[in-house]
Every structure is written in structure tokens, then in C-alpha cells.
Structure 1
Amino acid sequence: MPGREVVIIGSVDANREFDPPVHHPELARAACEQLGAELAAADWDIVVFSDDPGFIEHSVVRGYLAGAEKGRRRRGRVIMRAPRRKLHRAFTEEGIGARIEYQPDTNDEWEVSFYRSLFSADGVLLVGGGRSTHIAGILALTRGIPTVPLAAFGGSAGLVWSKMKSLREDTTDEDIAVLGSPWGPGSARQAVAVLDRQHERRGTSPGPAVAEERRRRRAHVLGSVTAIAALLLAVATLPLSSAWRSPMAALSLLMSGPVLGAVGGALLRDRVSNPLDHLWAVARGLGAGLLSALLYVASQLLTTPDLFDRLDATRLLWFVIPLGIAAGLTSETVYAKVRKAQIVDVTALGAAPPPTAGA
């Protein structure tokens, strides 16, 4: 049965120059052997790309094959991935507790095998390394893959460690402290424990697509509830207008009724928008509601100058509330047309006419 796969990435080659530099390469190699043994004990399979002693895979595999003999629940795997032409049987120390699988890639570029493995990985282990290690670490963090960069030995793994908090919100301070501590007895076991905890959290937390769908669903519910509340409040101005007869109260209800109706209408219209933008919908509704209410009241004042002296808000609200709802429902369409329209024809003034479709 396939197990959890952790991709091994990094280099501590003393003959290479790293930026930032790698520290204590001999200690790092010994640490990688310890990590290999702990990964075997924790029932992880490992994915490697090279048997070059300059890369950490060489040391991790040695420790893994040695540690795999110690009572694993199942036989572990060392998975060697590389382009077919460059793949050769490098590791021959296959034992009872682990087997070595060679998986040739049809693509001739090693970068394809390398980065493709990240997307199917259950975890990533980084020690030292240069640019490729840095890129792989950032990709793993942004995709939510459990990532264990050891800062103790510098290199690009240290850079990735410094970005864990900003790129992975679910990273705990305890895990960051473990991965940033100097190497010592028990460090390998603690690092693998961090990998295990991240893997468990990933299994219980939703993926990015599921989280986005849940966020959108919550936004739909919030917008729908707000729209219903705004519409109910708009309708509630009708009985209130019968109880509040003072001119100021009547005028306030006459303005608030269509505004609330327009906000509700704009939010209902926003249900079919992608992406949802409730704040912008409310702003459109407020603008459309105020405009419709003010224009209606202004038109009434032209024919009835003493309207405020004998204002009957109840009768007018039956007209302005539906007017506000309609304004809110159509506000986005009208706003879009206004933005694209050239209101004044300036051709006669010497300006170039607007371009036509297909020009």
C-alpha cells in the first residue's frame, strides 16, 4: 500500500558557493542521515533525484536504509525520479525494511521531474541548497504542502524557514522554533514530528478550492440575509408613516424607504455577480435609492410647492419604495452603460469621434 511521500531537496556541498552560505557541511550530512532514519521510523517514503554526495539525498538515503530495518509497520520505499536517460541504479543497499523504486520521467529535463514531484508530495524536507531549493520551498509553502526547512545549516532552506510565518498561516510558533533551533541530540526526531503534525493538519483542513467555495457560500448567505433585512425595513416604513405624522418624521421615512429598498435590490442583483462585492452593491443601492427618492420628491414639489406643509408620507411611500427597489436592481446595468457612454457629442468641436466596434 502506498505511503506518505516526502521529497528530499538540498545540498551542503563544501565545494559550492551558496547565497546565503551553508554552515557546517559535515554536521549537516550527519544530520541528514539521522533525518533519514527518523523518516523510516515514522513510516514515510522518500523521493530523491540524485545519488551525488554533494546533495543531501545521498546522506538521507543512507540513514533511511539503515533505519528502515528497525521494526517498520510496512516496507518503506526510496523513490528515485529522474529523466530516463539520466536514471541509473545508484543505490544498491536495498534491505529487508525498504526497497528502492526507479521511476523514469519521459521528459529529458530534470527540472520537470523535480518540480512535478512537488505537486503530488505529502511533504518536503529542505536542508541547505541554492536557488532550486528556494523555489521549491516557496512553491511548497504557497500550495499548503507540509514543509520542513532546517535553518540550522543556512543556505536557501534558511530563507524558506524565515518565510514560513508569512506564507503559511497554519504554521505554529512551536514548529517554527523547532526548525530554527541549532542542531543537537533529538533534533531529527523533532523535525520529523513537525512534518507529521503539518501532515495531520493538512488532512483535517480543507483545501484551497473547498475553502474558497465555503467563503463564497458564506458571502451568499450574508448578502441574502442583508437583502431580506433591507427590504423588510423598507416595507416597515409604511406602517410607521401612519404612526409618525410630524413633517420631519414623514420626510425621513420618505427618504429612508426607497433607500432601503434600493440597497435590498442591489444586493439581490449582486447574487448573480462574480466575484461578489457586497460593499459595492450597498454603495450602488444607496446612490440609486437617494437619487430616485430625491428626483421623485423634486418632481412633486414642482407641481405642489406646499408639499411639506401637508405631506402624506404613507401615500407617497407606496410609489417610492418600489421605485427604489427597481433602481437598486438595475443600478449595476445603468452604471455600466453610463461608464461606457459618451454623453456629449464633441465631434463638432474638432475632437475625434469615439472608435467603433471592430476598428
Structure 2
Amino acid sequence: MQRFAIVGAASEERNDAKHQFPFSPLVDVAKSREAARLIGVALAKKRCGLIVYDARFIEADVVRAYVAENPQPSDSGPPIVIRQPHADQIVPFPEEQTHPALFDRVADSSGRWEVSFYRSLAAADGLILIGGANSTAIAGQVAIGARVPVLALMKSGGAAETVWRTISPGIDLPNGNEHARMADDPSEPAATRWVEALESQRRRRYAVETGPIVWHAVLASILFVLALAAGFGSHLLPGLDASLAKAMLFAATLMAGVAGAAIRMVFERRYGSGPLVPPSMAITVALGLMAGALAGMLYIVAQPGDIEVAGDAALRLVSLITVVATVGGLTAEVVFRKLLGIDVLRTNGVAASGDPGRS
């Protein structure tokens, strides 16, 4: 089940500039509450779940409308997840008393609302901003930067309007049409389009972030197998011309380098240390080719005597060259950084013998 986080606030008291936490820009309370009601209905009809935080804010209106549509728990659990610090005084939603099976409270052990609030954004399939102030604005920027699907309802005012104005369609996840629809007045058709925009952003994000990685993994697998075939083939194929055997060995270093560069991207994304959007296949291939070839050639030229790919001793050489080229692709930036630091002409001595008067 997809779950969308509801973030925002709407109250006439906070439109007063003298309030301790005033809205800026002002929040249109009537439009905010109507948008919240319509969003609750639309999400329930789509069988999407909610992530909410506090019954004193705008999510109370969303939850009320959502529960009124009589949603049912799914195999993935209750559709409404409440994130709240463990130490905070619990303010229950009224619907928890009448429909307890629809709610799941998740308490954060840190005792700080900021921790439970901001960490929950990573678990959300999308973020819906209605009105609100500083925390809403920060949550919106976090979502935009992390390419989490975002719906900032411009007509609600407040931080949601501010976030809407900072979205760059086509650069950020929302496209131009979705960004324009966020400025619609609240209505049932508009609410349906809002939810569809979140789902479209989610599909787009998944396609952008997983598509290249799948192809990186496929490319790495194919080229690594071909590198092994070319490398060991140069040694094992009987009657092979010596020049052709060496050419096959060099080709193996190229393919192993690309395989290493490609599989590194897959590894980094698997463990969450890589960029949100991986480099294009062309960049991966170029870096892998150069790093693999350079690493392989540096190893070859470091060997004493002629390079022979026939005989029993050559099997170890072929294996090591293939491994070195693959590692070169895996650590491409280290290879290039090392090469950039090489002083080919040894100019440090020339620099030291300059004007003796400038010491």
C-alpha cells in the first residue's frame, strides 16, 4: 500500500502577525480545510494510506474524511500510520476510538518530534503540503531535494505556497502539468488529479532511479563474462596467433574495466551510498574503458621481460591482469587521481632552481 505523509496547518489564530508562530504567507483556512477533506476522500478511494503526526493540525481533517469513506485494513497493515515521539503527550484522533483497526501508532524512542517527523519522510511514498509554516517549508524542501513525490497546494497559502513557488518543473520531480494542477482551487476533480500527480511522480521516480541501475547490472554481468572469456581464451585457445592473443588480452582489460565501473554503481545504490540518479551508461562505459585499460597496461608494463600468454605461467598473469582491470573500473576515480598526480617531467627540480633572490 502506498502511504502519503500529510503535513501542514490551518488556523485563523496563526494568521495574526502577533502570534508566536505566525503563518507567512497567510493561510486560506477555508480552502485548506476543504482541500484536506477532498484529499482524504480521494486517497481513500484510491486505497492509499496515510502518514500523520498530530490531531491538532491539518491531518485531522484528512483523517476524518478518509475514515468516513470506510477504508479497510490491508495485508500491509492499518492504512493510517501515526508517527509521534515516545515522550510526547498523546493527542488521539477521534476516529481512533471508533475505528481502531485503521490506525497504527509508531513511537520514536528519541523523544523529539523533529526526529520522528523528518525521518518519516523517507518512508513516505509522497508528501502532501497544505498551509503550514516553518516545519512544512523544511519538509517540502527535503522532499524536493530527495526526489520524494510532493504535492504543494498553492491555494492553501502558507508554507505550501512557498514550496510550490520553489519547484522547478522538469528539473525537480513534478512536471509542468502537475505543477500547474497544484494551483487549482479545491474540488473533487482537482483532488483526483492531485492524487494521480503523486502516483505519476512515484512511477517516474522509480523508472529514473531503477532503470539505469538494472542496465548497469546487466552490462556489468555480460562484460565481466566476456572479459573472462577473452582473457582466458587468449591463453587457452590452441594455435592462436601471438598478436591476436595479446589483442584479446587487451580487450579483456577494457571489458573488465567497464564491468567494474558498472557494478560499482549497482553496489553503491544497493547499500544507499550512491547518488539518487546514477550516471548515464555512456559515462560509465567511458570511465570504465579508460580506467580498466590504464590499470591493465600499468600492470603489464611493470612486468619484466616479454609478455607471453602461452604456457602454464601465463595463466596467473592473465588472471591477475583481468582482476587488476576490474578493480581499476571499480576504483576509477582513484586511478585517475593517481595519474593526475604523476609528475611526468619532474618539474619540481626546475622550479627549485629559479631566481635565487626569491626564497
- Report matched runs for 1:6-155 at 5 Å: 6-12=4-10, 13-15=14-16, 16-18=22-24, 21-52=25-56, 55-64=57-66, 68-74=67-73, 77-94=79-96, 99-141=102-144, 143=146, 145-155=148-158
What's the secondary structure of 1:181's corresponding residue?
coil
List alignment gaps of at least 5 residues for structure 1. Answer: 233-238, 240-253, 297-321, 352-359
What's the secondary structure of 1:80's corresponding residue?
strand
| Greater shift in the superposed pair: 190-199 or 89-98 | 89-98
Shift, 1:115, TM fit: 1.8
Q: 2:172 aligns with which of 167, 174, 177?
A: 167
Shift, 1:61, TM fit: 2.9
Structure-2 residue corresponding to 1:179:
182
Return closer, same or farther for 1:207/1:87 CA change in 2, 3 Å cut-off: farther
Q: Check conservation: 1:263, 1:282, Cα contact below 8 A.
A: no
Return closer, same or farther for 1:62/1:345 CA change in 2, 3 Å cut-off: closer
Q: Check conservation: 2:230, 2:251, Cα contact below 8 A.
A: no
- Determine the C-alpha separation between the residues in 2 that align with 1:80 and 1:164: 31
- Determine the C-alpha separation between the residues in 1 that align with 2:68 and 2:291: 64
What's the secondary structure of 1:38's corresponding residue?
helix
| Identity across the alignment (%) | 22
Cα RMSD, aligned residues only: 5.4
Q: Check conservation: 2:131, 2:160, Cα contact below 8 A.
A: yes
- Report matched runs for 1:276-295 at 5 Å: 277-281=287-291, 284=294
Q: Check conservation: 2:257, 2:293, Cα contact below 8 A.
A: no
Matched positions, count:
297
Structure-2 residue corresponding to 1:309:
none
What's the secondary structure of 1:86's corresponding residue?
coil
> So what's the TM-score if we normalise by structure 1?
0.58
> So what's the TM-score if we normalise by structure 2?
0.58
List alignment gaps of at least 5 residues for structure 2. Answer: 17-21, 234-239, 266-286, 307-313, 329-333, 353-359
Shift, 1:32, TM fit: 1.5
Q: What amino acid is the match of 2:86?
A: R
Return closer, same or farther for 1:87/1:210 CA change in 2, 3 Å cut-off: farther
Structure-1 residue corresponding to 2:270:
none
- Determine the C-alpha separation between the residues in 1 that align with 2:119 and 2:259: 38
- Determine the C-alpha separation between the residues in 2 that align with 1:96 and 1:5: 21
Return closer, same or farther for 1:124/1:342 CA change in 2, 3 Å cut-off: closer
- Determine the C-alpha separation between the residues in 2 that align with 1:175 and 1:223: 42
